[in-house]
Structure formats: C-alpha cells, structure tokens
C-alpha cells in the first residue's frame, strides 16, 4: 500500500491484460486509485479486472475498456470513458505493446512467428503502433488534464532497456541489420523527453520506465528452459530476472508526490542489464583473442 492517500484519483493503464501492465494496474488499485485497464483481449482484460477486485475489495473501482488504442477513435473512447465514469484523469500509464494485433502483409493476415531477414515494410511499420498508441492516448489525456486547475498529473511511458543498447547488440537480438522493435522503444524515449519539456510548466510530469528482462508470459520460453534462463540471468549484473511488481512499484512512485520534481527521466529498471550490453561484443572479442 502506498504511503499516500489516493482516494478519488484515477489512473489509466494500457496493455494491462497480463504481465507488467496487470501488475501496474493492481499496484495503483491497492494504492486507492480508481483504475481503467485496456487491452486487445477482452476476456483476459475482464479476468484481470475481476482478479484485482478480489485483491483490493469492491470499494476500489477497476473498469475494463478493451480496444485497439493505436486507432485514434479507440484512444478517444478510452479517455472519454475515464472522464465519464470518474470525472478526471490523474495518471496515464502507456504500457501497451500491440504484439497480439494481427499483422497484414500485402493485405493478408500474416501467421508467421518470426520476422523475415531485414524485415518487410509491413513488419517494420507494425511495431510503430506501440509508439502511435502512446502518442494518441497522451494527446487525449493532456487535453483533459489541462482543463483542470490542479497541477499534479503524471504520464508514464513503459519502454525497454533495449532502447539504449548498441546497434551491434540490437543486431544480435534481431538477427538482422535493423530492429524495428528497438526503434519503436527508442521513439518512446524521445516522445517522453519531448513531451516532458513541452508540458513542464503545466503541472503534467512525463517520465519513462525501461524494464529489463521480466518474468512474464512474453519470456515464457526462457522461463520454461532452466539452462537458457540461467545463462540469461548470468548476463544480468544482479543475476536474476525482474518481477512485474518491481516495475509496478516504480510506476506508482513516479505518479506520486514523492516524485514531484522528476520529469523527462527514463528509469532503467533492469538489474543493471543496460550497463553490460554495450561492451558485450568487446568482451567477446577479447575472449577470442
């Protein structure tokens, strides 16, 4: 439970069907926020709302609002729903990664499980929906925040520590010369800093969190393979994967009055992983010498 009393405050958490987004929504609900959760999987989203309600009790309000927020109309409806139900928006957490969204190649739904070498144009544009979703929701949230006289609002963008790794490490991750997912995450960082500067005198703080390797369904293959998991954890300076709740607690801090002098900051919550990656290939070459 947060040290602050947040009764009456409202948070929107996108991409909260599972994993980090679900943990963030739960953390805000436990801190007394009314929470609107968003995702593409309506059944999973409703289940998340029910599960959080069981934890925090029925006095806390958790409302699900499914939809593809990379579409402008859906993002508008999400923010309008928050205002209609609760009268305000205090915190927006842009966590959505629209990886479950069907990808079209040449007008047809693609069923491929991995990208082609150097990516098709559609594959390259596909991850940009993450950045688009963050931008659209932020635009709609700011409109509504600026209508209020209060000066304590928070926008938090969830990206990845991989936005700051070197291109050579990006190559290793994607096995090709370009990596649109890393580019998308770097775009989120740029958006965060630009908006923070633009909104600095309005009472709206904009910050980001760059998680490392987190124990969620996204990393299920790694979690299910003890050998690979141990190998990956050896690359992390503190030698373990992070938990979704560890990201959620940082998000709650950034939204709180305890972070009232923080804006335009990207916090790496990665166990030190981003400190190691830039020298990975240098160390490898020295080992081979």
Q: In this predicted model, what pLDDT tens digit does every residue of 33-70 receive, in sequence order?
A: 999 999 999 999 999 999 999 988 766 789 999 999 99
Q: Considering the entire predicted model, what is its pTM?
A: 0.83
Kindly list the structural domains of the chain, giving each domain's residue range(s) and its CATH number in brackets, ordered by start: 10-288 (3.40.50.720)
Greatest mean pLDDT range, 112-126, 165-179, 191-205: 191-205
| CA gap 286, 289 in Å, rounded | 5
Q: By the 8 A CB rule, do 175 and 124 touch?
A: no
Best CA proximity match to 208, nearest among 264, 152, 271: 264
Paired with 211 in beta bridges are: 269
pLDDT in tens, 122-164: 555 555 677 889 999 999 999 999 988 788 999 999 987 654 4
Confidence of residue 275 (pLDDT cuts 50, 70, 90): confident
Kindly list the strands in the beta sheet with 10-13, ordered across the sheet, starting from the edge strand earlier in the chain: 62-64, 34-37, 10-13, 91-94, 153-158, 204-211, 266-269
């Amino acid at each position: 439970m947060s040290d602050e009393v947040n009764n009456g405050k409202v948070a929107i958490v996108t991409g909260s069907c599972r994993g980090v987004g679900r943990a963030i929504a739960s953390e805000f609900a436990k801190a007394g926020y009314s929470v609107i959760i968003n995702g593409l999987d309506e059944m999973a989203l409703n289940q998340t709302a029910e599960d959080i309600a069981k934890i925090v009790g029925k006095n806390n309000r958790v409302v699900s609002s499914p939809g593809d927020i990379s579409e402008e109309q859906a993002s508008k409806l999400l923010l309008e729903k928050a205002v209609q139900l609760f009268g305000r928006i205090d915190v927006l957490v842009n966590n959505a990664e629209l990886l479950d969204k069907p990808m079209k190649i040449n007008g047809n739904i693609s069923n491929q499980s991995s990208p082609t070498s150097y990516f098709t144009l559609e594959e390259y544009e596909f991850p940009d929906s993450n950045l688009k979703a963050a931008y659209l929701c932020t635009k709609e949230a700011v409109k509504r925040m600026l209508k209020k006289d209060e000066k304590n609002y928070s926008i938090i963008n969830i990206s990845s520590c991989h936005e700051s790794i070197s291109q050579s490490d990006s190559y290793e991750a994607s096995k090709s010369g370009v990596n649109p997912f890393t580019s998308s995450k770097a775009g989120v960082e740029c958006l965060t800093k630009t908006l923070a500067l633009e909104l600095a005198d309005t009472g709206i703080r904009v910050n980001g969190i760059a998680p490392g390797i987190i124990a969620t369904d996204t990393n299920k293959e790694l979690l299910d393979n003890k050998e690979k998991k141990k190998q990956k954890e050896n690359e992390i300076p503190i030698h373990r994967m992070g938990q979704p709740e560890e990201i959620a607690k940082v998000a709650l801090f950034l939204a709180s009055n305890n972070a009232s002098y923080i804006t335009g900051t990207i916090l790496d919550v990665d166990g030190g992983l981003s400190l190691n990656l830039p020298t990975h290939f240098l160390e490898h070459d020295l080992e081979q010498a």
